[in-house]
Amino acid sequence: MKNPFISQLLLTTLLFSPTINAAESFVVQDIKVKGLQRTPIGTVYDYLPVRVGDNFSTDKVPEAIRVLFKTGFFKDVELERDGSSLIVTVVERPSIAKISFEGNKDLSTDELTKALKKIGLSEGKVFDQQVLDKVEQELRRQYFSHGKYGLKIETKVSDLSRNRVMLQVVLSEGQAAKIKYINIVGNKSFEIEALLKNFELSPSHLLSFYTKNDQYSKQKLSADLERLRSFYLDRGYINFTIESSQIAMTPDKKEIYVTVNIKEGDIFTVEKVKLAGNLVVDPQELIKLVKIGPGEDFSRKNATETSKNISDRLGDEGYSFANVNMIPDINEKQKTVDITFFVDPGKRVYVRHINMHGNTKTRDEVLRREMRQMESSWASNSKIERSKTRLDRLGYFENTTVEMPPVVGSADQIDVNYTVTEKASGNLTAGVGYSQNQGIIFNANVSQDNVFGSGKRVDFTFNNSNVTTQYRFAYFDPYFTLDGLSLGYNIGYLARDAAAANLSNYSTDVMNTGLNFGIPLNENDRLSFNLDLNQTKLKTSDYSSTEIKNFILENGSTYATLNASLGWSHDTLNKAIFPSSGGQQRLSASGTVPGSDLTYYKVDYKQQHFFSIAKDFTLKINGEFAYGDGYGNTKGLPFYENFYAGGIGSVRGFRANTLGPRDSNLNSFGGSSKVLGNAELFFPVPFVADAKSVRLGAFFDAGTVSNGLNIKDLKYSVGMSGEWLSPFGALAISIARPLNVNTNDRQQSFQFSFGQAF
């Protein structure tokens, strides 16, 4: 191919030859540039090694052209002399107007665009034909890392107007290479099956379509080899090495064989453990944090955990950048190791500013009152992290992150920056169910958890189904005082037709007004007090049961009661929505005060715990026990205050409120005690990337309602559930199968709830 640089060099030499000899020169009085479309003329002047007033001759032409070509902006350059003027004529390279991808499924367009940007190819950049080779190399690198070795690439360059081009990349991704076999050579102390349990990669099996762990990638193999190394180092094999790993691929590039060669070495035990360096914290306190001791097999995991524990403890004292290094002294002959944890606390760090970002609606003070780290005090890692957890538990934000950048020009100051992503705090909630004799049941609630960004809650409930008619207004201020005393009040009216809810044949009209407040005891515990004034009117019909008629004969049909309650809660959840660790315990005792028309009490204890058992896999254990009874002149718990079970939030697979005792007409009557238990494993939805707003679950439910505790009446069910935090509210569905059913039980396999709290 003809070299454009050489040709232009020869042409320019000829153009200058009639006028200038090699030994001659002329003074450049003016420089004119022709042919520019996008490139600023100043760019040419900056790069051109000639200035007005310089002597210019033919022997300087090659260097001038070379410099302009080297910018990459031009594909053609000519130099001419016009009297005392130097004329520079250029032809610009085209710019890239658009880059499009076709056929990409495994990698998104955004991922591919970012990959090409790393090699200097993006929309608006100058196009160079030679870059296409780099494009293919980079795309192959990206796809090979995902096991797509059958990739085919075709690039098309189309000319557009105004010296622009469009780059089209057509991809045929092919199938990811599947792992046929993984072999480990050199293992003597452990069976290969035990070692492969630590691998993310595995040969193809029945669930590979979901887990995708049979798709080879270099990054996954590197991570698995590190897990293998950790497995041995955590069991005393200090000299363990991975000597090599080989990857063999079938000719059709569809199957891969992985072989890992290892050398185990010997087991080393710990001889001595000591602390050294600048121990700014009491050594006796630090010794308690050491997780490895003399006589034990060496464990890198325990040694690393010890370093982290000490570093975290120093971080609580303001030494945020402390280094705790584990220094082993290995005795090859005795097969022992002495471990020294060398502590370098660095300088104590203070917090200059705490900054909030992303709260476009929520007021700054709502976030700041959750802070446990204060400005101008020394930085405490645990307080900074605790503050983040408290922001997560507000329920106002989809995501919360924290950064601690050092203050420029200061060696002992940092800023703490919290960034939140707000979500809609207004909520329209609804419960929807279906039964053969009732049809569709609908109820609704409009609430604002963060009204006007103040952190206060306003709740208006309205319900006009064939079961209930309800109107209720409630207000709650979680920070009525600066130290966290909460205050709320409510007023409402509730008319309920129990028969329409599959209960006994009666109805109630209740007028209610109430006041509540709470007192924080510490970071996790809280006391709450409620006082409610109720006016209840009980109505019957010709179809009401004997139990109800007898109750009215004894107590009347209208009751004024003043209810008081005391509650305690312990909350260690890591976040309000879809928690993955921590738990909640709630104990409440309520009752009507002496002098009320009816005197009774109720006690309720609930607990739930979440355990993160793997990435995006969370186990929830839930339990509840409740009991009620009358006192004074009231015999037993009033029947309309009975407990009920069945349905979503209880024992799924049974229709709502249908478990437990029945009245003389065989309708659900509820009971004075309730026992519920639930175990549920949550996991991400296959092929859905956003695990933060949607998840599936497999559950086992158990529960019963009775008069007096009777475990023999427990009902059981198993099934699958789905939960989605939709833009319109929380959505929950379940498909359940009861395990022990008798002829009186009312089943409902599919159940649906919109807006129910998880």
Burial code (b: 16+ CB inside 10 Å, e: under 16) for 109-126 equals: eeebeebbeeeebeeebb
Terminal C-alpha separation, the chain: 70
Residues linked to residue 724 through DSSP beta bridges, in sequence order: 694, 731
| Shared fold status for 4-92 and 178-263 | yes
In 3D space, the residue among 538, 460, 458 whose CA is nearest the CA of residue 495 turns out to be 538
Name the pTM for this structure.
0.64
349 close to 412: Cβ distance less than 8 angstroms: yes
Q: What CA–CA distance (Å, rounded) separates 345 from 279?
A: 8
pLDDT reported for residue 50: 87
CA distance 582 to 392: 13
Tracing tokens 């408290």 back to the chain, one arrives at 390
Q: Give dist(CA 142, CA 105) in Å, integer.
A: 13
The answer to whether 472 and 460 have CB atoms below 8 angstroms apart is: yes
Q: Does domain 350-422 have CATH number 3.10.20.310?
A: yes
The confidence score (pLDDT) of residue 273 equals 94
**Are β-strands 486-497 and 468-477 bridged in parallel, bridged antiparallel, or unpaired?**
antiparallel
Using DSSP, state whether 47 is helix, strand or coil.
helix
Residue by residue, what is the 3-state secondary structure of 95-145? EEEEEEEECCCCCCHHHHHHHHHHCCCCCCCECCCCHHHHHHHHHHHHHHC
Specify the pLDDT at position 429. Answer: 52
- List, as own/partner pairs, every contact residues 395-401 make where C-beta atoms lie below 8 angstroms and the sequence separation is at least 24, other chains included: 395/425, 395/449, 395/576, 395/577, 396/362, 396/366, 396/420, 396/422, 396/423, 396/425, 396/449, 396/450, 396/455, 397/358, 397/421, 397/422, 397/423, 398/422, 398/423, 398/692, 398/693, 399/692
Model pLDDT, residue 18: 38
Among all chains, which residue has been given the structure tokens 């409930």? 461
In contact, 125 and 113? CB cutoff 8 Å: no
| Sequence-ordered strand ranges (E) for 350-506 | 350-357, 397-403, 413-422, 426-435, 439-448, 457-464, 468-477, 486-497
Helix (H), strand (E), coil (C) string for 514-583: EEEEEEECCCCEEEEEEEEEEEEEEECCCCCCHHHHHHHHHHCCEEEEEEEEEEEEEECCCCCCCCCCEE
For domain 270-344, give the fold.
Ubiquitin-like (UB roll) (3.10.20)
C-alpha–C-alpha distance, residues 236 and 265, integer Å: 9
Q: How far is the C-alpha of 754 from the C-alpha of 335, rounded, in Å?
A: 63
259-298 per-position pLDDT tens digit: 999 999 999 999 999 999 998 888 889 999 999 999 999 9
- Position of tokens 């939805």? 685
* CB of 198 closer than 8 Å to CB of 220: no
Contacts of 593 (CB under 8 A, 6+ apart): 562, 563, 564
Alpha carbon dihedral 367, 373, 375, 379, in 10-degree steps, equals -140
Residue with tokens 């086992």, as numbered in its chain: 700
Contacts 24+ apart (CB under 8 A), 211-215: 214/178, 214/179, 215/146, 215/147, 215/176, 215/177, 215/178, 215/179
Name residues of the chain where pLDDT drops below 50.
1-23, 433-441, 756-758
CATH of domain 95-172: 3.10.20.310
Q: Are the C-beta atoms of residues 402 and 384 closer than 8 Å to each other?
A: yes
Distance between CA atoms of residues 84 and 16, nearest Å:
12
Contact by Cβ (8 Å): 713, 655 = no
CATH number of 479-754: 2.40.160.50
178-263 topology per CATH: Ubiquitin-like (UB roll) (3.10.20)
- For residues 179 and 166, give the distance between their C-alpha atoms in angstroms, rounded to a whole number: 38
Give the Cα-Cα-Cα angle 483, 485, 489 (nearest 5 degrees): 155
Pairing of strands 26-27, 55-56: antiparallel
Amino acid 14: pLDDT: 40
Domain boundaries, the chain: 4-92, 95-172, 178-263, 270-344, 350-422, 479-754
Q: Which fold has domain 4-92?
A: Ubiquitin-like (UB roll) (3.10.20)
